[in-house]
Amino acid sequence: MKNGIPFELRSVELGRGEHLKPEFLKVNPLGKVPALKDGDFLLAESVAILLYLSRKYHAAAHWYPPELQACARVDEYLAWQHTAVQLPATNIYLCKSLLPYFSEQSVDPVCLDRLLGKLKPALQHLDREVLAAKPFLATEELSLADLMAFTELMQPTAVGCDVFQDWPRLAAWQARVEAALGPELVRDAHRLVLQPRDPRDAQRDPKLAQELVQRLLERLS
């Protein structure tokens, strides 16, 4: 949207198990979003998709700079974040929101605490080391690193786990990124995740709910 790239949105509602259906598995056999289809070319993995779009549509240089060392900094963040940020942040979201939604059980506070603990080292590193030295996560300007981090950290925040509360530089960074992206676009992108889910929706397909609960429990164990 920000780069004016023309695209058609194909909504894949994980909450309705649409990622497990044959039509979607043809696009990504691993059953995961995001996925891209450009003619016959299919691509998965958000980092790969962002790089593909940057290159194909000649996005502004700040997103993925051409300079060797600046580019390396963005690569460094994009690699690190898979296990340091994305994995724990997603797990917090699953524990706090999706698992209770499907299982109709209340949130497990022990599990949630443990998962929050797994995100903390990354938040501390970003706040105390990275953002102490510069305004954005990789370079002096907004890049793909900030975009990934912003949306990842919104996930637990959107369901009531404010991951910014102990980290003032990170909170300031978040505001800076939101301003650079545009508050309206940010609001639009986060519309769904910010809405509380209706528990009755989950039980429309009890079999699916059961399967998803199993997968979630295994993932969070």
| Residues forming the site for other proteins (CB under 8 A) | 29-30, 41, 43-49, 51-52, 55-56, 68-69, 71-73, 75-76, 78-80, 82-83, 87, 125, 129
Decide if 60 contacts 54 (C-beta within 8 A).
no
- Closer of 87 and 186 to other proteins (Cβ): 87
- Closer of 130 and 202 to other proteins (Cβ): 130
CB of 188 to other proteins, least distance (A): 25
CB of 153 to other proteins, least distance (A): 18
- Closer of 81 and 202 to other proteins (Cβ): 81
- Closer of 44 and 171 to other proteins (Cβ): 44
Where b means 16+ CB within 10 Å and e means fewer, 172-187 reads ebbebbeebbeeeebe
**Closest listed residue to residue 81, CA positions, set 135, 123, 111, 133:** 123
Decide if 190 contacts 154 (C-beta within 8 A).
yes
Residues in the chain: 221
CB of 81 to other proteins, least distance (A): 9
